[in-house]
A and B are shown apart, each in its own frame.
Chain A
Amino acid sequence: MDCLCVLPFLGEIFELKAELNSDKKEKKKEAVKKVIASMTVGKDVSALFPDVVNCMQTDNLELKKLVYLYLMNYAKSQPDMAIMAVNTFVKDCEDPNPLIRALAVRTMGCIRVDKITEYLCEPLRKCLKDEDPYVRKTAAVCVAKLHDINAQLVEDQGFLDTLKDLISDSNPMVVANAVAALSEIAESHPSSNLLDLNPQSINKLLTALNECTEWGQIFILDCLANYTPKDDREAQSICERVTPRLSHANSAVVLSAVKVLMKFMEMLSKDLDYYGTLLKKLAPPLVTLLSAEPELQYVALRNINLIVQKRPEILKHEMKVFFVKYNDPIYVKLEKLDIMIRLASQANIAQVLAELKEYATEVDVDFVRKAVRAIGRCAIKVEQSAERCVSTLLDLIQTKVNYVVQEAIVVIKDIFRKYPNKYESVIATLCENLDSLDEPEARAAMIWIVGEYAERIDNADELLESFLEGFHDESTQVQLQLLTAIVKLFLKKPTETQELVQQVLSLATQDSDNPDLRDRGYIYWRLLSTDPVAAKEVVLAEKPLISEETDLIEPTLLDELICYIGTLASVYHKPPSTFVEGGRGVVHKSLPPRTASNESVESPETAPAGTASNEQPDVIPTQGDLLGDLLNLDLGPPVSGPPLATSSVQMGAVDLLGGGLDSLIGGPNFVAPPAAAVPANLGAPMGSGLSDLFDLTSGVGTLSGSYVAPKAVWLPAMKAKGLEISGTFTRHVGSISMDLQLTNKALQVMTDFAIQFNRNSFGLAPAAPLQVHAPLSPNQTVEISLPLNTVGSVMKMEPLNNLQVAVKNNIDVFYFSTLYPLHILFVEDGKMDRQMFLATWKDIPNENEAQFQIRECPLNAEAVSSRLQSSNIFTVAKRNVEGQDMLYQSLKLTNGIWVLAELRIQPGNPSFTLSLKCRAPEVSQHVYQAYETILKN
C-alpha cells in the first residue's frame, strides 16, 4: 500500500483493490481472477496481498483455489502477511471434504516461508495417516516439499519413517507417490539409506506397478532399477513382471522398463531360454518409440545409441527404421546417422552406403558433412566395404560441392591410415581439388596425405611449397602439419628439397609465436642436423593402425550409463556426477579423459609425438618392468604378445624426444587394458552397479571363506608409545579385510585412529576409514575388521607381498610393515575352462615355469582339492598317471593375473610336487607359499 506509488499500472491496482473488498461474492471472484491473470503474465500484483488473503475464508472452492494460487506465488515476498493465512489452512486440514484437506496441505507445502512450515508439521502428520488415500498421496508429496525447504525439520519430526511406511500402503497411488517423494529426497541425501529395498518391498512395488497411474509406474520402475537382486532367479522373476510395461502407451514408462530389463539382464545367463526371449521382446518397443513425436524420438535415439553399443544383437535386424526421412528435424537426423553406423555390418553395408550417398546430396550442410564422415567410418569399420566406400567418396568428390569435397578428403585420410598402401591410386584425384580446400581440417588432411606419400607424388614439393606461401595465415593445425609433411618430404627426397625444409624450419622456429610449432621445429632441426638416421626413424616411424572403436563409449562408462537409461545422463552420455548440480553424492568416479590415441585418429597432426603416445601400452612392457607385466599380461586367454618390433622403434623415439614426453606415458594405472577391467574390479566396492552384479554372480558357489592365519603381532607396544597392533588378513566371499586387534598398553586414552597404506604391488587399500568408535582406554583391546579393496595405487614392492602401513592416533603416527599371504588375492572366478587351461599352459614359455616341493602333507588328492578350492584355487582337471594323482589347477589374482598349477601327488608319499606357470613369474614363489600355508593348516 505504501509501495503502490511505484507501480506502473497504479490505476488498475486501485480498481482491483476496490473490487476485492466488494461485498458481492461474484465481483470478488472476478477480481481475484483478474489478479491471477496479471500474475501469470508476469505483472507484479504483490501489493494486493492483504486484500486477496482476506478473500480466503470462503466456502466457494474456486475462490479458495484462486487465492491459494496467489498465495503460493507471493507468500515468499510477504512472509509476515502470509502468517495471516495459517489459521485458515489449519482449519481446512480438518475439513470433512477430503478434497479440501488435501488442497490445504498441498498448498501449505508450496509456501516457502519458514514461519508457515512450522505450523505445517501437525496437519501434515495427520494427513499422512488420513483415512482417505487421496489425502495420503498428497501428503506424501508434501513431505518432499517440506524436505526441500527444511530438511532438518523433516528428519526431526520423523516424517521420513512415516513416508517409508507408506510404501506398504494398500493404495497403489499412495505407494507410487511415496516412492517418488523418497526418490527425490534421496537424491539430495545420497548417504541416507532411504529406499532400503529388500525382496518384500520389491514385491510390494511390483504389485503396485500394475495398478498405479502411468506416472507412478515411471517412479516405481526407476526405483526398481536401483535394486540389486540377490540371484539370477530373482532377477528373472522381476524381469517377467516388468516386461508387460513395454507395451505401455507412455514412452517414458517404456524406457524406464527397458532400463530395468537391460540392467537385470546382466545377471541372467546367456544360455537361458528366457534371455533370448527377453532380447526379442526388447526390439519392438524401441522401434515403436521412433514413430513418436520428434522430441521423444530424440531422447529415444540417444538411449538406443547406448543400448546398441551394449547389446548390438537387440536391434541388428532393424537397420531400416533408422533410415533418415527428409523432413526429420536435424537433431533426429544426426542421431539416426550415428546409430546406422553402429549397426553397420557386412550383411547390410550395401544398403547403408546407398543411403549415406543419398544423404550426401541433401540440403542441410551439417547433415551432409556427417553423412560423408559416416561413409569413412563405415570403411574403417567394415573392411570388406572399404573399396566401395572409397569409390563412393570419389563420386562425391566429383560433385565439386565444396564442403562435400573437404569432408571427403578428411575421411579418406583416415582410410589411408587404416588400410595403408591400398588406395593410394586415388591421390591424383584428391590433388586436383587442392585449391578448393579452405577449412583447416581439410587442408591439414590433404597436407598429411601429400607428406605421407611424397615419394609417389611427383610434384609433392611444389604442392607443399604452394601452401608455404601463406604459412603465417594458416591455423596452427595446418602449420604443424605442413612442418611435419615437409620434413617427411625432405627425408624421402633429400636432394631437391633442402631449400624448402630450411625455409619451413626457419618459419616455424624464428617467425612463429606458437610454442608448439616452435618446439616441434627445433626438435626436427636438431634431429636432422645431428642424426638423420634417427630423424628418419622418428619422423617416418610406422604409425599404429586406427580402428573403428575410437568413437565407442568406454565399456565401464557404458555400463554405468546403462544404469541411467532414460535420464538426462543418457541423453548427454555422461555420468550424472559430472553435470547434475549438487551431485547425487554417489560419487561415480569420473573416468580418465580419452587418451591421445583418439585425437590422433581424427587429425593426422602431431605425427611423431602422437605415435609415441599411441604406442604407450606397448612401450612399457619393453622396459622389462614387472609392474608393466603385472598390468598388461593379465588377459586370461592367450593372446599374442605386444608387437615388439615396432615398439622398439618407438622406444627410440621416446628417448630421442626427451623428457617432455614422459608425462604422456603417464602413470602405470592408465595402462590396464579395458578387457580386464571388469574382473579386476572384484571385491572393489567402489565399482558401478554393474560390477556389483558381477561380484554377486561370481561369488555364488564358494561360500566358505579361505584360510585365515592366526593373528600375529605387527606393531609391538614398545615401538608405538604403548599401542600394540596385531592382525591378520582374511578373504570372505569376494571381499578382503584386515582384521586388527588394537591394544592400549599406555597410561593415557587413545583416540582419533586412522590408517593408511603405502603403495603396494597389488593396489591394496582400505575401502573404508578405520572405525574405532569409542576412545581406547588403558589396557583395553578392540577388534576391528577393516575392509580392503584393490583399487589403490600400484608400486612394486620387495618382497612382492610387502605392505607398509601407517597408523595414526592422538599421540603420534606409527609405521610398520607386514607380509600378506597371497591367497587373499585369489578371486572367486579363478576357474579356467579346460581348453583354455591347455592352451594357456602351452602358450606360457617354459622358462616361466617354477617347481616347488611341498613336504610333509598328509592329505589325499580329494582333500587337497577341496581345501584349495575353499581358498579359490580351482581344480580344472584331475588325472591319474602311473599311480600318481595329477591335479591341474588355476587361480586368478585380483589384478587379473592367471596362475596355472600342476600338483603331483603320489599315494603314500607326503611330499607333493608343485609346478607353477604364470606370465609374471615373480608371483610363483608367493603362490607356492600360499599353497604351503593352506595345505598345512
Chain B
Amino acid sequence: MIHSLFLINSSGDIFLEKHWKSVVSRSVCDYFFEAQERATEAENVPPVIPTPHHYLLSVYRHKIFFVAVIQTEVPPLFVIEFLHRVVDTFQDYFGVCSEPVIKDNVVVVYEVLEEMLDNGFPLATESNILKELIKPPTILRTVVNTITGSTNVGDQLPTGQLSVVPWRRTGVKYTNNEAYFDVIEEIDAIIDKSGSPITAEIQGVIDACVKLTGMPDLTLSFMNPRLLDDVSFHPCVRFKRWESERILSFIPPDGNFRLLSYHVSAQNLVAIPVYVKHNISFRDSSSLGRFEITVGPKQTMGKTIEGVIVTSQMPKGVLNMSLTPSQGTHTFDPVTKLPSLKGTVSLQAGASKPDENPTINLQFKIQQLAISGLKVNRLDMYGEKYKPFKGIKYMTKAGKFQVRT
C-alpha cells in the first residue's frame, strides 16, 4: 500500500513529507529528481519510476509534484487516483492548492492526510466526511477557536462514515433549497490541413451543486438518453435503475460533486462548431513567411461562440512576428514562440528554416448548448416535502482542439 508521500515544488524542494508506515528516507526522491532532469518539461516526467527498493508514482498538478512511495505490488491506478483525490481535497479545504497555502496550513494538511490513509489503506476520502472530522480553516473559525478554546477537530464519529450513503451526512439544513446541474461538454478534436476532422469526440460531465435539506432522493431523466452509452457515475447513482430505465436515480452528496461523466465517441457524428482557415508558409529564399488565420462559426445552432483563443507554437527559427488582428488582441512571446490571436490575423514572420508545421490550438466557449444534443428532461425529488429551486445550464467548450497546418 502507499508508504509515504512527498510534495515537491517545481524547483525540486521537498516541502512536505508524510509517512504512513515506517519512515522512508527522502533520499529516495533523488531518483525522481533524476527523471525530472531528464524530462524536458515538468509534464513529461514519467508517472511510474522504479528505484531499487521502491516505486515512485507521481502526479503533477498546480505546479506541485505529488510523489507517492510504494514498496510492494500495488495497483498504480489506485495510487494515482488517490493522489488526485488528495489534490482535490486540498483544493476543497483551502480554495487553492499551492505551495504557500500548504505551508501555511501544514498541521491541517497533516491531520487530513492522516485521516485519509491508515497504514496505506484509504480511510476517509469523501470530502463530506473529512470535513466533519477536521474542519476546514476559515478566518471566522480561527477567531472563534482562540476565544472559546474549541478545536477544529470533530469529536463525533462522522455519521456518513458507515451508512449505506457514505457520501452524505445526516441532518443537513438549508433555508433556500436549491439544486443546480451544469452539463458541460468538451470537444476534443484533431482537424487536418484541409479542414476535415480526423478525430472528434466529446467528453461530457454533469456537475451538480445540490443544497437540499434532509435526505432527498432525486431522479433526473433525459430527452435522449441513448446518447449516453459510455458513462461513469458517482457512486451515489443507482446503476440498476439506469440499466433498466435510463433514469438517473440518486441520493445526492451535499454540496458540489460530479454526478456523471460521459463520452460520445468518434463513431457518432460530432458536429464541429468552428472552422479555421489557415495559410502558414515559410519561404526558403527570404527570411519572411506568411501567417494567416481565420476563425469562423459553423453548426452552432444559432448560438454565439465566445472567448476564442488561438495559440500556435512557432518553430524555433521564428524570431518575431508582426500581426494585424481584424478583431481582438494578440501577443507574441519570443521565449516560447507563442502567438495568441483572436479574430482574423495576417502577418509576416522572419523565418530562418521551416522544419515543422506549427499546430494551432483553439479554445472557445458556447453557452446554452450541449453540442452532443443531450437535453435534460426533468428533475424530480422524492423523500422530502419542500419544493426546491432547480436549475440546469449547458455549455460547450473546446477541450484538446487542434488544427494541423
Contacts and interface: CB of A to CB of B under 8 A. Distances in A.
A133 B162 contact: yes
B43 interface: yes
A69 B110 contact: yes
Given A247-B233, A254-B232, A330 B44 contact: yes
21 contacts: A40-B16, A61-B151, A61-B153, A66-B107, A73-B23, A76-B23, A98-B157, A134-B161, A142-B119, A171-B162, A180-B121, A187-B73, A247-B231, A249-B232, A249-B235, A249-B260, A254-B232, A287-B263, A295-B80, A327-B400, A568-B73
Contact of A579 (B21, B50, B84): B50
B199 interface: yes
Nearest to A213: B166
B8 to A, nearest CB: 13
Contacts, number: 233
Given A255-B75, A255-B77, A320-B198, A299 B48 contact: yes
Given A329-B44, A401-B355, A36 B156 contact: no
Interface string B240-273: 1001000000000000001011010111000000
A248 B16 contact: no
B172 interface: no
A108 to B, nearest CB: 12
Interface stretch (B51-59, B173-181, B298-306, B322-330): B51-59
A122 interface: no
A581 B52 CA distance: 9
A215 B198 CA distance: 38
B136 interface: no
Contacts of A109: 119
Interface string A235-252: 000000000100111111
Given A320-B198, A320-B266, A325-B402, A249 B166 contact: no
B265 A321 contact: yes
Interface string A321-339: 1010111011100000000
A293 B59 contact: yes
Contact of B47 (A295, A358, A572): A295
A822 B223 CA distance: 69
B203 A358 contact: no
Interface string A546-590: 000000000000000000001111011000100111101000000
A299 B114 contact: no
B132 to A, nearest CB: 11
A138 interface: yes
A294 to B, nearest CB: 7
B198 A144 contact: no
Contacts of B22: 76, 112
Interface string B148-175: 0101111111000110101000000000
A214 B153 contact: no
A461 to B, nearest CB: 36
A150 interface: no
A372 interface: no
B75 A252 contact: yes
B111 interface: yes
Interface in B60-116: 60, 71-78, 80-82, 84, 106-107, 109-111, 114
Closest 5 pairs between A and B when the two form their complex, measured CB to CB: A284-B230, A62-B153, A62-B151, A295-B47, A252-B77
Interface string A132-152: 111000100110110010000
Interface string B335-367: 000000000000000000001110101000000
Give the interface size class of chain B.
35 or more
Indicate the size class of the contact surface on chain A. 35 or more
Nearest to A351: B198
Is the contact region of chain B dominated by helix, strand, or loop, or is it mixed?
mixed
B234 A249 contact: yes
B140 to A, nearest CB: 18
Contact of A569 (B73, B121, B151, B359): B73
B404 interface: yes
A88 to B, nearest CB: 17
A222 interface: yes
Given A62-B153, A109-B119, A138-B118, A247 B77 contact: no
A256 interface: yes
Given A173-B162, A569-B73, A327 B110 contact: no
Interface string B192-210: 0000001101010000000
A487 interface: no
Contacts of A254: 232
B112 to A, nearest CB: 11
B265 A581 contact: no
Interface in A652-705: none
Contact of B232 (A62, A248, A323): A248
